[in-house]
Structure 1
Amino acid sequence: MNRRTKIAAVGFALLLTVGAGGTAVAMADFAAPGADGRPVVREAAALTGTAKLYRPAGDDITFSFDAHLAAKDNTDPQAATGTFRFSHYKDGKGGYAVAKVDCLTTGGKVAVVTGKVIETDVDAFRNKRVGISVHDDGKRDRLGYSWVGRDTDLEVPPCLSSAPFEKVLPGTGDFTVLPWQLD
């Protein structure tokens, strides 16, 4: 066999191997066997985890997420469910809010979640929709939120937030973003 034929054969074998592996990974995402042996379809998207923001002045700022989009709702990010919570305290002063998720979109390692505040001790957040973005880079996660800027009284539309501009405190970012796979 000449050299070109050998190279072509090896390349073809690699493509077959990679293709088979990719198919196995895709099948694992959508049809992994459950405890009862039947295929279990993974959810369409998710954002989970907790982190503290880095602030040199020592502020205690925490964000926690438990947001999910079921596989059956794959084409409707506004069918997402769950909650997220954020708090900001310094020198014994501050507040918290809990929001009920009303939209979740993810792409790669980035997620945007919005929700209506259902519990808070901060009047400015009461019954407002807020948006948060997360970048799960696996080393030092980042986070952004909709209430930055001069006009913080704006009503945030579903599925929107700012870019993830804040760094989380090293060792606290355990966000997990499950990428949305539109089919």
Structure 2
Amino acid sequence: MRKTTLGATAAIAVLAGLIAAGPAPAAPATTPTATVTPTASARQQVAKTASVHGKARISYIESLDDDIRFTIDAVQKPFSRTWPGNASGRMATDAWGTLKFSHTTPSGAGGWAEAEVDCLVTSGRTATLTAVVTKSNVEEVGARLGISVQQGAEGEPDRLGFSWGVANIDPGSVDEKGDLVRPQAGTCMAPAPFTTVIKGGFKVVHADIRKSPAQPGAASRRG
């Protein structure tokens, strides 16, 4: 560490001179001005973008011997999509990326799907996202799937939930065979993360939802 060479006597003399001089003169042009910088937390909030990344194998109570895997790469890009029928046309939770899953039974039979992420919302270590199927041997192309992810903490495992695993039924909707029809998940809608990750894991980055931009004529519509 560099030590000062100014002795105590000199320091007192300088201080006395400053006190006796009366009001401080204007700072010379060469004196650097103080720069106000954002706090670390403020910079962090500005820089953060909500996202979920990772791949994992899960343990699902209905298929304990099956190999079920998910790969997620999702990034929130607010107000970047056009939604027909939506007043603003875009949403703060708009997102882009990919979702992939595969489900293989001990006999070798398997199902898989690839989907395009369209919505993502986060809260701490938890996130929900939806993705629209683009390719699959078990899902209908165009169907929206809901996924939830919870990143584990303090040694706890990560967890994941998926809309076709539990709960997502409409008791009043049946097909020609009389079977219940599973409704499509709404944007960012998914059940709680009810399965446990047994291999791999996910990284959730949280960012607060942004305020929607003002819409032209919004005040007049409110009356």
Q: TM-score, normalized by length of structure 1?
A: 0.71
CA 1:121 to 1:75, structure 2 compared with 1: closer, same or farther past 3 Å?
A: closer
The question of whether the paired residues in 2 share the 8 Å contact of 1:42 and 1:71 is answered with no
1:86 aligns with 2:101: yes
CA 1:42 to 1:57, structure 2 compared with 1: closer, same or farther past 3 Å?
A: closer
Output the CA distance in 1 between the equivalents of 2:79 and 2:45. 14
Output the CA distance in 2 between the equivalents of 1:154 and 1:72. 26
Equivalence for 1:15 = none
Output the CA distance in 2 between the equivalents of 1:83 and 1:67. 6
Could you tell me which of 203, 216, 220 is aligned with 1:176?
Answer: 203
CA 1:71 to 1:131, structure 2 compared with 1: closer, same or farther past 3 Å?
A: closer
Equivalence for 1:166 = 195
1:66 aligns with 2:73: yes
Output the CA distance in 2 between the equivalents of 1:66 and 1:137. 18
Answer with 63-72 or 138-147: which moved more. Answer: 63-72
1:128 aligns with 2:143: yes
Q: Structure 2, unaligned stretches of length 5 or more?
A: 1-37, 81-89, 170-179, 211-223
What RMSD over aligned residues (CA atoms) do the two structures have, in Å? 2.4
- Map 1:23-172 onto structure 2 (within 5 A): 23-30=39-46, 41-43=47-49, 45-54=50-59, 57-70=64-77, 76-77=92-93, 79-90=94-105, 91-122=107-138, 124-138=139-153, 139-149=156-166, 151=180, 153-169=182-198, 172=199
The question of whether the paired residues in 1 share the 8 Å contact of 2:78 and 2:95 is answered with no
The question of whether the paired residues in 1 share the 8 Å contact of 2:113 and 2:137 is answered with yes
Offset from partner CA, 1:46-81 (integer Å, 9 cap, x none): 01101101258431100110000136769611x200
1:84 Cα shift? 0.7
Q: Structure 1, unaligned stretches of length 5 or more?
A: 1-21, 31-40
The alignment of Structure 1 onto Structure 2 pairs a total of residues equal to 147
1:133 Cα shift? 0.3
By percentage of residues, which structure has more strand? Answer: 1
The question of whether the paired residues in 2 share the 8 Å contact of 1:60 and 1:89 is answered with yes
The question of whether the paired residues in 2 share the 8 Å contact of 1:140 and 1:173 is answered with no
1:136 Cα shift? 0.5
The question of whether the paired residues in 2 share the 8 Å contact of 1:82 and 1:101 is answered with yes
Output the CA distance in 1 between the equivalents of 2:58 and 2:162. 12
Q: TM-score, normalized by length of structure 2?
A: 0.59
The question of whether the paired residues in 1 share the 8 Å contact of 2:100 and 2:115 is answered with yes
The question of whether the paired residues in 1 share the 8 Å contact of 2:78 and 2:92 is answered with no
The question of whether the paired residues in 2 share the 8 Å contact of 1:75 and 1:182 is answered with no
